[in-house]
Amino acid sequence: MTAGSSEYDCAFLTTVLPEDRVALERSRREQFSVDASVHEPSMPDAVAWPESTEEVSAVVTACAERAVPVTPWSGGSGLEGGGIPVAGGVVLNVKRMTGVDVEPTNLQATVGPGVVYDDLNETLATHGLRFPPGISSGDVATIGGMIATNASGFNAVKYGETRDHVRRLEVVLPDGEVVECGRGVVKTSSGYSLKDLFVGSEGTFGVVTGATIAVSGLPEYERAALVTFPSRTAACAAVADVIGAGLVPAAIEFMDSLTVELVNEYRDAVSLPEEPTLILEFHANNSGIEEDVAFARGICEDHDAASWDAPGAGEMDAVWSARRDALPAYRAHGEGLEVALLGDVVVPISNYPDIVAAVADASEDLDLLTPCVGHAGDGNLHYAPLVPADDEGARERAAELNDAVVEAAVELGGTATGEHGVGLGKRKFMRREHGAAVDLMRTVKDAIDPNGLMNPGKIVPDGNE
Amino acid sequence: MTAGSSEYDCAFLTTVLPEDRVALERSRREQFSVDASVHEPSMPDAVAWPESTEEVSAVVTACAERAVPVTPWSGGSGLEGGGIPVAGGVVLNVKRMTGVDVEPTNLQATVGPGVVYDDLNETLATHGLRFPPGISSGDVATIGGMIATNASGFNAVKYGETRDHVRRLEVVLPDGEVVECGRGVVKTSSGYSLKDLFVGSEGTFGVVTGATIAVSGLPEYERAALVTFPSRTAACAAVADVIGAGLVPAAIEFMDSLTVELVNEYRDAVSLPEEPTLILEFHANNSGIEEDVAFARGICEDHDAASWDAPGAGEMDAVWSARRDALPAYRAHGEGLEVALLGDVVVPISNYPDIVAAVADASEDLDLLTPCVGHAGDGNLHYAPLVPADDEGARERAAELNDAVVEAAVELGGTATGEHGVGLGKRKFMRREHGAAVDLMRTVKDAIDPNGLMNPGKIVPDGNE
């Protein structure tokens, strides 16, 4: 047993689901004790794999009757520990709920929570459609997890977060009741937007068993460019001007020179100029895209861009692979260094240069190596302090850096978590960011889940935290 | 005293606010007994005009201490009775809270709830910006009211509802506490999205005293066209194909032939072909707009469009005045007819022809004259049964028509209210649309406003309703 969890007798689950869809053995439970984060594992007492809304309801009802905690689980790719069953109990794995029903005319699809992001997009592509938030872990992350954390990524700057795409949710409440929140329509002003309450609630209000999401047509035209700048300040200023000019790139990504250096080390074939870099991508359905690209290029040149590398259509992957390789490059870094944590803050875009500087300053003060990348068009910055594998002191300094950067982000009008959720890791920043609104969050949580059985220990800090 | 309301002694308000900002006299209270809807008036016992968040908090606190109901009020342009103080008590009028602070680089503005939509857009225009939902009553409606009902209009099809623009809200809770919900950033996954709970809650959770909203650049290019079709089915099919093709018009409006006929009657100078009509508008920042317009025109011609009237830039008002004159034309209809109610439903766009047919069928069955207009690109339809001024029977049949159309909309997967809110008028449809989720709405309402003092009698039906 890992620290903090209690033991619950979960044998009752085998009367609720077929035995082969319940794991009580330690060996089968272990992989669900931790997600993709660096947080401490905690063993569940059982794992259940329901295959339908009715089965989810049956499991949740049975757990409610026995006061057994339930932690929903799908892709396991969370980066803040949202899926770790810190109170033990049942991990409710919705991975097998993978239905996809596409309505091309209505530009929407109704999907199960276990559908993997890339798989959904493969299905949608056969209709000329896509679900476009553009997350980095699309080969693993599921729609259920994306709804849980309000995930987003590369393409949110044009297409929006997961929240912006959710029209309707089917949810199993903590007492096992099934409700539908929202409707499969473009707009509504019909009562409280409960679906927006569930988006980003990380399973603390219940289990999402289905969702109707907005999808977009695949763009007819795509253009991309990799642009280098003499300084990170120049790169950040170009981002603000591109967005401020009313251009709506499909992506505008920042990589600091350390990231480019690590990516170059990681890859054999390609070598990029080791300078602060932007990747820009544009999507459009008409040839006006060339004007947008030229406009953006002019703005970058106004900020002394040193190079503008724009591959032809079909060669966009060459541009993107550098960005996609950033996290693997951090992880594969030689000299025995490990990624201590992956930071994720957002600030108003006017303050983007300041938050990038805050990371650099804290990193220098704390004697750390901290490469940065970010969905700069959204004001979103990721940073990854690299520490020697067995150096506890460095790991503590990395945590200190994270505290300092989150504090800076909040002070700059920003948020403690842009797309990774709160989970365990960002809980301690909630009161700093939200003030007394945290008490209102607690009020709502206690009203919907009075016995505190749904993913306990997440999002809302307890009294003294 | 009108039916249903109680009398509260509100003299205490003069100790909370300067006397000239409190109305206790009947003559000054009367205009706040009804909004722009056809619902029954109900007199408030007092009206208060706070000018700051602190004053709102002081009024709400004083009312909470005395168990006096509070109904927030701003533009008074609501169409479903959301602002009518059905339980009496205090109308809290935020009309004087009109601050506007624009952050051009961050494409956002922080505004008071009393700012009128058109006034805000006038201020934003000096920065090359706009707040774009495109509501019809923009000369009266305030941002506070738009947030209360999640309002939208002509341009929501491209730019989204009010909800899509709200990043941060300052709210006075039912006990007088001030909280901030959300942050002035493009995206966040930091905890429960309380701001989304307040958007569309019509003042039943508290009083919005400030909002940070996303704004857009004014488009460089605008094109519009007025297009007529041989049948409403053809017009509706064209709408579905334009949207399904991935075109994103800034507006795509439907007018039935009866509406065009009434508009022609209403106006002296202009005469339009009395056929089912679409108005299309496109916005862009590059010349690719011409390709989009040509594409849309091709789709309309595929559906046998009889005419395509596209004025030059600067003459767009000529196209739009027909649409803008629709409601005035209904109201000015000769032969002593009055608008009995203004319907507002949304269906998935694939079902738009069905909901238009449902209005026509119900109108024929019930012997009514019912012109229709709608934000067709969103699947949103408005209908306005016209009845003789003193014919109670016809008025009852108009209510019957509304019941039938809402039932049809919900049956078609749609919603009972697209942009006007629930207020009093749509309350009875809430359980039909949302099922058991209505109980969850009640749970949340009771948790946030345990004494039921904030805009009582709205949105969530009581036990037996």
We report the CATH number of the domain holding residue A15 as 3.30.43.10
What are the E-state strand segments in A148-189?
166-172, 178-182
Beta-carbon count within 10 A of B30 CB: 14
The answer on A264 and A140 residing in a single domain is: no
Q: How far apart are CA A132 and CA A122, in angstroms?
A: 12
- Residue B194 in contact with partner chain A when CB distance is under 8 A: yes
Least Cα separation, residue A266 to chain B (angstroms): 31
The length of chain B in residues reads 465
In a domain, A450, yes or no: no
Retrieve residue A300's tokens.
């970058």
Best probe of the B interface among A57, A159, A186, by most B CBs < 10 A, is: A186
Two tokens, residue B51 = 């000018």
Residue A142 pLDDT > 90, yes or no?
yes
Q: What pLDDT, on a 0 to 100 scale, did the predictor assign at position A311?
A: 82
Interface probe with B: pick from A53, A146, A192, most Cβ of B within 10 Å: A192
- 8 A C-beta contact, residue A439 and residue B180: no
Interface contact B459-A216, CB threshold 8 A: no
B-chain residues near A200 (CB < 8 A)? 189, 191-193
> Do residues B125 and B208 both lie within one domain?
yes
Looking at the structure, tell me whether residues B310 and B346 fall in a common domain: yes
Q: Is A279 helix (H, G, I), strand (E, B) or coil?
A: strand
The answer to whether residue B10 sits within a structural domain is no
Residue A292: closest CA among A219, A234, A218, A374: A219
Bin A336: left if φ > 0, else alpha if -120 < ψ < 50, else beta: left
Give the pLDDT of residue B3.
43
Tokens at A387, concatenated: 């520490």
A296 touches A310 (CB < 8 A) = no
Q: What is the DSSP string of B189-249?
A: --S--HHHHHTTSTTSS-EEEEEEEE-EEPPSEEEEEEEE-SSHHHHHHHHHHHHHTT---
Give me the DSSP letters along B253-307.
EEE-HHHHHHHHHH-SS----SS-EEEEEEEESSTTHHHHHHHHHHHHHHTT-SE
Contact across the interface for A107 and B421, Cβ inside 8 Å:
no
Give backbone dihedrals phi and psi of B90, rounded to 5 degrees, phi first: -100, 130
Residues of B in contact with A106 (CB under 8 A): 348-350
Give CA B299 to chain center in angstroms.
30
User: Cβ of A300: how many Cβ atoms within 10 Å?
Assistant: 25
DSSP state of A142: B
Element (H, E) at B381: strand B380-383
Rounded to whole angstroms, what are the CA distances from A382 to A79, A256, A342, A418, B95? 12, 11, 6, 9, 42
How many residues belong to chain A? 465
CA distance A264 to B247: 40
* Contact across the interface for A415 and B448, Cβ inside 8 Å: no
- Collect all residues of chain B within an 8 Å Cβ-Cβ radius of residue A128: 246
Q: Are residues B397 and B254 in the same domain?
A: yes
Contact between B288 and A287 under an 8 Å Cβ cutoff? The reply is yes
Same domain for B263 and B213? no
Residue A269 clears pLDDT 80, i.e. is over it: no
- Region of B61 please: left (phi>0), alpha (psi -120 to 50) or beta: alpha
pLDDT at position A4:
45
Do A322 and A226 form a contact (C-beta atoms < 8 A)? Answer: yes
Looking at the structure, do residues B337 and B226 belong to the same domain, yes or no? Answer: yes
- The CB-side HSE value for B137 (13 A sphere, CA atoms) comes to 19
Strand A100-103 and strand A108-111: the pairing is antiparallel
Q: How far is A135 from chain B (nearest CA, A)?
A: 14
Mean of the pLDDT values across residues A221-226? 94
Report yes or no for ipTM above 0.85. yes
Query: A99: distance to nearest CA of chain B, Å?
Result: 19
- Chain A nearest-CA distance from B74, in A, is 18
Q: Is pLDDT above 50 for A2? A: no
A414-453 pLDDT tens trace: 999 999 999 999 999 999 999 999 999 999 999 999 999 9
| Whole-angstrom distance, CA of residue B92 vs CA of residue B99 | 17
- How close B220 comes to chain A (CA, Å)? 10
Yes or no: say if A82 and A75 are a contact pair by the CB < 8 Å rule: no
What is the average pLDDT across A74-89?
96
If contacts are CB pairs under 8 Å, which of residues 348-367 in chain A contact chain B? 348-350
Q: How many CA atoms lie within 13 A of B330 on its CB side?
A: 25
Per-residue pLDDT of chain B (465 residues; tens, 9 = 90+): 344 446 999 999 999 999 999 999 999 999 999 999 989 999 999 999 999 999 999 999 999 999 999 999 999 999 999 999 999 999 999 999 999 999 999 999 999 999 999 999 999 999 999 999 999 999 999 999 999 999 999 999 999 999 999 999 999 999 999 999 999 999 999 999 999 999 999 999 999 999 999 999 999 999 999 999 999 999 999 999 999 899 999 999 999 999 999 999 998 777 889 999 999 999 999 999 999 999 999 999 999 999 999 887 667 787 788 888 898 999 888 778 999 999 999 999 999 999 999 999 999 999 999 999 999 999 999 999 999 989 999 999 999 999 999 999 999 999 999 999 999 999 999 999 999 999 999 999 999 999 999 999 999 998 655
Domain total in chain A: 3
Q: Is A125 on the interface with B (CB under 8 A)?
A: no
Question: Could you give the angle at the alpha carbon of B282 between the alpha carbons of B279 and B283, nearest 5°?
Answer: 145
Task: Tell me the shortest Cα–Cα distance from B420 to chain A, in angstroms.
Answer: 7
Q: Do the bridges between strand A46-48 and strand A90-93 make them parallel or antiparallel, or are there none, so unpaired?
A: parallel
A160, A187, A244: residue with CB nearest B346? A187
Contact A186 B347 (CB under 8 A): no
CA A213 – CA A74 distance, rounded (Å):
18
Please report the pLDDT score of residue B1 as a whole number: 37
Contact B387, B340 (CB under 8 A): yes
- How far lies B237's CA from each of A59, A119, B230, B355, in Å? 45, 31, 12, 13
Beta strands in A206-250 (DSSP E): 207-214, 216-217, 221-228
Searching chain B, which residue's CA lies closest to the CA of residue A165? B164
Q: What percentage of residues in chain A have a pLDDT greater than 70?
A: 98
Rounded-to-10 torsion of CA B120, B123, B129, B135:
30
Residue B72 in domain? no
In a domain, A433, yes or no: no
Q: Is B345 on the interface with A (CB under 8 A)?
A: no
Whether B60 is covered by a domain: the verdict is: no
Q: Please tell me the distance from the alpha carbon of residue B368 to that of residue B337, in angstroms, as a whole number.
A: 11
Give the predicted TM-score (pTM) of the model: 0.96
3-state helix, strand, coil in chain A (%, to 5): 35, 20, 45
- Chain A: give the shortest CA distance to residue B166, in Å: 12
Task: Quote the crossing angle between the two packed helices A289-302 and A232-244, to the nearest 10°.
Answer: 140
What count of CB pairs under 8 Å joins A to B? 291
Distances (CA, A) of A252 to A226, B186, B220: 10, 14, 22
Q: Which of B154, B192, B285, B449 to mutate to test the interface with A (most CBs of A within 10 A)?
A: B192
**Chain B contact present for A152, CB below 8 A:** yes
- Number of Cβ within 10 Å of residue A33's Cβ equals 20
Q: Do A460 and B181 touch (CB under 8 A)?
A: no
Cβ under 8 Å to B: A residues 80-109: 103-108
Q: Do A444 and B247 touch (CB under 8 A)?
A: no
Do residues A248 and A370 both lie within one domain? yes
Report yes or no: B450 at the A interface, CB cutoff 8 Å. no
Say what percent of chain A tops pLDDT 90.
Answer: 89
DSSP H or E stretch at residue A108: strand A108-111
One domain for residues A292 and A405: yes
Q: pLDDT for A200-212, tens place per residue?
A: 999 999 999 999 9
- C-alpha A11/C-alpha A63 separation (Å) is 11
CATH number at residue B281: 3.40.462.40
**Chain B nearest C-alpha distance from A328 (Å):** 24
Q: Do A246 and B460 touch (CB under 8 A)?
A: no
How far apart, in whole angstroms, are the C-alpha atoms of residue A103 and residue A110? 8
Is the Cβ of A156 closer than 8 Å to some Cβ of chain B?
Answer: yes
The DSSP element (H or E) to which A46 belongs, if any, is strand A46-48
Chain B interface includes A464 (CB < 8 A): no
pLDDT band at A3 (very low <50, low <70, confident <90, very high): very low
Q: What angle do CA B60, A414, B123 make, to 5 degrees?
A: 65
Residues A244 and A428: their CA atoms lie apart, in Å, by: 33
Whole-angstrom Cα Rg for chain A: 22
- Bridge-based pairing of strands B251-255 and B277-284 is antiparallel
Residues of B in contact with A460 (CB under 8 A): 191-192
Interchain contact B384–A (C-beta under 8 A):
no
Give yes or no: residues B212 and B262 share one domain: no
Burial of B388 from C-beta contacts in 10 A (0-12 / 13-18 / 19+): middle
pLDDT for the residue numbered A320: 86
Domain closes at, from A217, A243, A265: A217
Pick the last residue of a domain from A217, A247, A278. A217
Q: Please, are residues A59 and A48 in contact by the beta-carbon 8 Å criterion?
A: yes
Task: Estimate to the nearest angstrom the gap between the alpha carbon of B415 and the chain centroid.
Answer: 14
Whether A443 is in a domain gets the answer no
In this structure, what token pair is assigned to residue B439? Answer: 């109980």
A204 and A245 belong to one structural domain: no
| Residue with more model confidence, A243 or A271 | A243
Q: Which domain holds residue A145?
A: 100-217
CATH number of the domain that residue B169 is part of? 3.30.465.10
Q: Are residues A239 and A294 in the same domain?
A: yes
Helix (H, G, I), strand (E, B) or coil at A393: helix
| Torsion over CA: A262, A263, A266, A270 (sign) | negative
Nearest by CB to A187, from B156, B181, B220: name it.
B156
| pLDDT score recorded for residue A267 | 85
Tell me, what's the pLDDT at B464? 57
Kindly compute the dihedral angle of the four CA atoms of residues A271, A277, A282, A288, in this order, to the nearest 10 degrees.
-100
Amino acid A251: pLDDT: 97
Q: Half-sphere exposure (CA, 13 Å, Cβ side) for B235?
A: 29
**Is the alpha carbon torsion for B328, B330, B334, B335 positive or negative?**
negative
Among residues A202, A217, A232, the one where a domain terminates is: A217
Look at residue A114 in the predicted model and tell me its pLDDT.
98
Same-domain pairing of A385 and A361: yes
Contact across the interface for A183 and B433, Cβ inside 8 Å = yes
> Is the Cβ–Cβ distance between B120 and B98 less than 8 Å?
no
Distance from CA of B444 to the nearest CA of A (A): 6
Q: Which member of B189, B247, B379 has the closest CB to residue A185?
A: B379
Query: Residue A283: inside a domain, yes or no?
Result: yes
Tell me whether B324 touches chain A (CB under 8 Å): no
First-to-last CA distance in chain B? Answer: 24
Question: Is B415 close to A349, i.e. CB distance below 8 A?
Answer: no
CB contacts, 8 Å: B194 with chain A: 437, 440-441, 444
Distance from CA of B374 to the nearest CA of A (A): 13
Spatial distance between the Cα atoms of A429 and A415, rounded to a whole number of angstroms? 9
In a domain, residue B465? The reply is: no
Mean pLDDT, rounded, of chain A: 95
